[in-house]
Chain A
């Protein structure tokens, strides 16, 4: 599973980077995003959901968050 590290990237750049990363991933594949606490973890998941991706889970690890999602249709 691919992991995309968006730690240290602020909103909305983190969301745009996530979108760009998802362009190279096949529909149906599972991806992990590493997100900072605060605004990033509040905003990025819901924006990705609104873009049609399926959120699978969220875990807190060592002060950041790991968001797992399944890529939706292009």
Chain B
């Protein structure tokens, strides 16, 4: 029999999500950055087998969801998962579990440790109540951006700014050949010419350079703010470059503080829509106070992706 005291809103906030069937819930488990130990995976599998439907679902934000859990089994499920390690993931108007690609540890394209950043954000900011709407953070290790960072409320993308030590250059031309953006070409003196406007900070020139003549001058995250998907998609735009990895939590906290203040009274509205209302200068000015070396002079509004029906309205 159902316990009348159970508050579905609280359950959802704690990662228990009501399903279609009577008494049935999805239990969403926290998997920051999408990485989990095989040991944990195997424990989750045994709980899913015992209490679930015989399958799990991998959410689009990298969480594992146990399906068809009877609410009478909640206590047993939580106990058998082991509460310390098997934290459930939140829903609602909170900071969600950060997503991330594999990062730089084993992926040769990765420029920054996205896994470490995702764990830090998870530890320090997960579940923070925004007061308005959900707040998603995603990390991409390089400008290939497999995680689509700019579709998050705050999306961070690994970046390197290269600089050439011309003395060490052997004029092999590999960097110019490797530069997909056409930012490098070989000059008449046999040395690469760097068209800085075309550089997207991918670091391919450093990776291919035989002598280490291309060096890293700056490394960090390009930060985009204001993205979301869903019914009215927005793509976030660039606010900061080369944000050091150890300033990520502070930066996101500062974005959150602006959002919490500016969305006051606006109801269930994401930060991208608040930026559309307030303009980007307000957020830039706010962030510049704390991060003067990294925040841009100007940016553009979140980009509206007008793809939804009905077409006749457009």
**A residues lining the B interface (CB < 8 Å):** 41-42, 45-47, 49-50, 54-58, 65
Q: A42-B180, A50-B108 are in contact. Are A55 and B174 (CB under 8 A)?
A: yes
Q: Are B170 and A57 in contact (CB under 8 A)?
A: yes
Chain B residues with Cβ below 8 Å from A46 are 108, 174, 178, 204, 207-208
What are the residues of chain A within 8 A of B178 when measuring CB–CB? 41-42, 45-46
Query: B292 within 8 Å of A by Cβ?
Result: no
Known contacts A47-B108, A50-B108: does B207 contact A42 (CB below 8 Å)? Answer: no
Cβ contact within 8 Å between B208 and A49: yes
Identify the interface centre among B172, B173, B204, B210: most chain A CB within 10 Å of its CB: B210
Distance to closest chain B CB from A28 (angstroms): 16
Q: Are A54 and B210 in contact (CB under 8 A)?
A: yes
Q: Answer whether residue B177 sits at the interface, using C-beta atoms and an 8 A cutoff.
A: yes
Is A49 a contact of B177 with CB atoms below 8 Å? no
The residue in chain B whose Cβ has the minimal distance to the Cβ of A69 is B210
A58 and B173 contacting across the interface, CB-CB below 8 Å: yes
Chain A min CB distance to B180 (Å): 7
Complex contact A41–B170 (CB within 8 A): no
Chain B 157-188 per-residue mask, 1 if CB under 8 angstroms from chain A, else 0: 00000000000001011100110100000000
Partner of A58, one of B172, B180, B204, B207: B172
Looking across the interface, which residue of chain A has its beta carbon closest to that of B211?
A: A55
Partner of B172, one of A42, A47, A56: A56
- Expressed in whole angstroms, the Cα–Cα distance for A57 and B210 within the complex equals 8
Contact among A47, A50, A65 with B177 in the assembled complex (CB-CB below 8 Å): A65
Given contacts A56-B172, A58-B173, contact A49 B180 (CB under 8 A): no
Given contacts A42-B177, A56-B172, contact A49 B210 (CB under 8 A): yes
B177–A41 CB distance below 8 A = yes
CB 8 Å contact bits of B206-245 with A (1 = contact, 0 = none): 0110100000000000000000000000000000000000
**Measured between C-beta atoms, what is the minimum distance from A69 to chain B in Å?**
8
Contact in complex: B207, A55 (CB < 8 Å): no
Complex interface: chain A residues within 8 A of B108 (CB): 46-47, 50
A42 to B184, CA, bound (A): 13
B-chain residues with CB within 8 Å of residue A58 when the two chains form the complex: 172-174, 177
Most central of A55, A57, A58 by chain B CB within 10 Å: A58
| CB contact between A45 and one of B170, B174, B180 (< 8 Å): that residue | B174
